[in-house]
Amino acid sequence: MVSADDLPTGQVTGTTAEPAAAGPGAAAVAPRPRSAQDPPNDHAVLTGRLPRTGLPAETQPDAQTQPDAQTMTAAETEPSAEAPPAAEAEPGEQTVPAQRTDYPSRAEPARLIARFRRARDWTVAASYQFFLAGTLLAVAAGAVLRFATPSHLWLDESLTVGIASRPVPDLLQALRHDGSPPLYYLLLHVWISVFGDGDIAVRALSGVLSLATLPLAWLAGRYVGRAATALGNGGPSAEQRVGLVALLLFACSPYAIRYGSETRMYSLVVLLVLVFGFAAVRALNRPDLPRLAALTLATAALVYTHYWTFLVVFTVAAFLLLQARRREHYRRPALRAFVAMAASAVLFAPWMPVFLFQMLHTGTPWAPRVQAQVLLDTVFDWAGPQSTGALLGIILLGGALIGLTARPLGGELHVKISGRAPGRYLAAIWLAPLVLAYFVNMFGGSAYAERYTGIALPAYLLLAALGIAQLPVHRAFVAVVVVASISGLLGGYQLARTERTQAGEIANRIADLARPGDVVAYCPDQLGPAVHRAIQRRGDIDIREIVYADEAGPALVDWVDYADRMKRANGAAFAAEVNDLAGPDHAVLLVRADGYRFLEGACAVLSDQLASLRDRALQVEKRDLYEGASLERFSTLR
């Protein structure tokens, strides 16, 4: 808005003085001086434009030529009853039209302008309060959703609880056959000893770890904004805006909500990636012994949590070596940080024999190979279900592109295709580990799963937060933040409230059908842990359980040489084994799902073989869930 005080000297927004008419007797009327108390012209305030007058620009009265109020004559200060008529103009002279004198009183526009200003000030103050309240509400909603899932534990969760519930020596031995590092399982072991092994209790650990990421995300966002401003790629309020957006994106992230409500290590991975990032930055800023030791511990904690974190560590290590070579003044802190990260190998050494055994014998035989498009799919998988994920995915991807290439310049964004710091560094930590994971999947056979990609989520969300905060129009900034938060919460709600497995439904049906001594068979073995846990928690079912091609029993899955073992197994032979175990007086209940890798049609053969010996009846139909399965009952022998 423009006021009279904002105008350059010589431009007056009030009514200009009427020029003196030529001729004798014409009273000279000097222009009235504008005082500080006079209200500015309302048209100029509301539109920012000066009103036109009948005078040429060079004859406009100048503030420096205004007569002093104390020296004005009585004729100048006292209005005449009636102005004399203007003399007729001589031929060739230009006449200046007389100004209107029937303008409304100055008091009425002044009151309107004062009301407008008060309303504007109240709106600005209220909008800030509303935005702050909305931020707190969104964070609270995201926090609640992390503890609000009604689903039963599915395969991976049941396996995790089954391993963590064992004594520590047995826990470590079970991990040798599972293929995972031990840190999260040891934390869950302690957690279970305090809070028990109920579904809500064991999931609460992941929820707490996910909530712990929120203050770190806010601090990381503020640091990114401060770095952008210091490098000339951020506005004066970038630190506050990036911190706020980062907090909201992490709180409302469908991925963070989904795995904050699951008994797995992925929330811990996201938390430790942020901790690792802070430790690396602090060590680079001042590479003293305490900070380097903290970096070593953070690196070791990462690789003890999930093996995909090696990809992040390798990416950062390569960056440090590259910077040490390119920038001589940066060489010493970069090399010290690299050595600190490498020193984590000493802490990892006790686990190295188990790690090597797992790499040779476990792996992820259930995972197919993926296409390069999976890198883009990952971004939209992070954004949640398709109903809301498409919108949030576009917002986050657009924000990431702005954070990588643009900086605010006046009311516009100035784009640099080659990228700007710190966006370039965040983009590298986001993309490089995923590209490495893709090549490992293509040539090494390791799984590429959306849940593993949390290693790159923090860098991506921070980059998107930087880009959204760079939007030069405040209304656009607020609108994008609101839409991203709402769509994220809606997607997180769908993921948190969706049933993930039919284990509870099948266990309840088994409880209704089974008689003491009946046999429950699982094909494939991966259906065993979730259903077995649900049956055990009921405590009122006396049955015998047997698992296809797995002597470990239904509580765990033995992943050692899994593919070879499944290929050697035979559905018809297992059907004969199950039939003999049940005998003529007991029924068989088959928990079955087709389509698992390396089993081909083994489970269908098993069902058909049993049906040739006993009457078959479908009890639970398989539904389209993350872990769906059917239940078939085979009666006593005919």
| pLDDT tens-digit readout, 481-517 | 999 999 999 999 999 999 999 999 999 999 999 999 9
Looking at the structure, tell me whether residues 542 and 488 fall in a common domain. no
Q: Looking at the 3D structure of the chain, how many domains does it have?
A: 2
222 is a domain residue: yes
Contact, 38 vs 110, CB < 8 A? no
Identify which of 447, 469, 304 has the alpha carbon closest to the alpha carbon of residue 366: 447
76 is a domain residue: no
Looking at the structure, tell me whether residues 144 and 213 fall in a common domain. yes
- Counting residues of the chain whose pLDDT is more than 70, the rounded percentage is 82
119 is a domain residue: no
Predicted confidence at residue 136, as pLDDT, reads 95
44 is a domain residue: no
Looking at the structure, tell me whether residues 558 and 492 fall in a common domain. no
Instruction: Write the single-letter amino acid at 281.
Output: V
DSSP line for 328-373: GGGHHHHHHHHHHHHTHHHHHGGGHHHHHHHHHHTS-TTPPP--TT
Looking at the structure, tell me whether residues 470 and 322 fall in a common domain. yes
Q: Residue 394, exposed/middle/buried by CB under 10 A (0-12, 13-18, 19+)?
A: middle
Predicted confidence at residue 97, as pLDDT, reads 53
Looking at the structure, tell me whether residues 204 and 305 fall in a common domain. yes
Which run of H or of E encompasses 413?
strand 412-415
Average pLDDT of every residue of the chain: 85
Looking at the structure, tell me whether residues 468 and 508 fall in a common domain. no
Q: Is residue 102's pLDDT more than 50?
A: yes
Predicted confidence at residue 98, as pLDDT, reads 52
Predicted confidence at residue 112, as pLDDT, reads 76
Predicted confidence at residue 340, as pLDDT, reads 97
The region of weakest confidence among 57-66, 256-265, 443-452 is 57-66
41 is a domain residue: no
Q: Which residues contact 194 (CB under 8 A, 6 or more apart)?
A: none
Final residue of a domain: which of 432, 462, 497? 497
38 is a domain residue: no
Identify which of 201, 156, 145 has the alpha carbon closest to the alpha carbon of residue 627: 156
**Alpha helices in 196-237, H assignment, sequence order:** 199-230
Looking at the structure, tell me whether residues 248 and 328 fall in a common domain. yes
Better-scored residue on pLDDT, 637 or 286: 286
Looking at the structure, tell me whether residues 574 and 628 fall in a common domain. yes
Looking at the structure, tell me whether residues 412 and 289 fall in a common domain. yes
Final residue of a domain: which of 497, 531, 566? 497
The whole-number average pLDDT for the span 579-596 is 94
The token pair that represents 108 in the structure block? 């009425």
> How sure is the predictor about 370, in pLDDT bands with cuts at 50, 70 and 90?
confident
Predicted confidence at residue 160, as pLDDT, reads 97
Count Cα neighbours of 273 within 13 Å in the Cβ-side half-sphere: 34
The region of weakest confidence among 82-96, 303-317, 544-558 is 82-96
The whole-number average pLDDT for the span 211-236 is 95
Q: What crossing angle do the helices spanning 289-303 and 266-285 adopt, rounded to 10°?
A: 160
The whole-number average pLDDT for the span 543-557 is 93
Looking at the structure, tell me whether residues 444 and 526 fall in a common domain. no
The whole-number average pLDDT for the span 361-373 is 81
Final residue of a domain: which of 454, 470, 497? 497
The whole-number average pLDDT for the span 217-225 is 97
Structural domain span for residue 260 = 124-344+370-497
What is the rounded CA–CA span in Å between residue 270 and residue 133? 27
What is the rounded CA–CA span in Å between residue 76 and residue 74? 5
The whole-number average pLDDT for the span 412-417 is 92
Looking at the structure, tell me whether residues 573 and 438 fall in a common domain. no
| pLDDT tens-digit readout, 200-211 | 999 999 999 999
The token pair that represents 423 in the structure block? 């966006």
| pLDDT tens-digit readout, 257-300 | 999 999 999 999 999 999 999 999 999 999 999 999 999 999 99
Predicted confidence at residue 328, as pLDDT, reads 87
Identify which of 271, 282, 279, 341 has the alpha carbon closest to the alpha carbon of residue 306: 271
99 is a domain residue: no
Predicted confidence at residue 105, as pLDDT, reads 56
Looking at the structure, tell me whether residues 270 and 144 fall in a common domain. yes
Better-scored residue on pLDDT, 585 or 25: 585
> How sure is the predictor about 588, in pLDDT bands with cuts at 50, 70 and 90?
very high
Contact, 12 vs 61, CB < 8 A? yes
352 is a domain residue: no
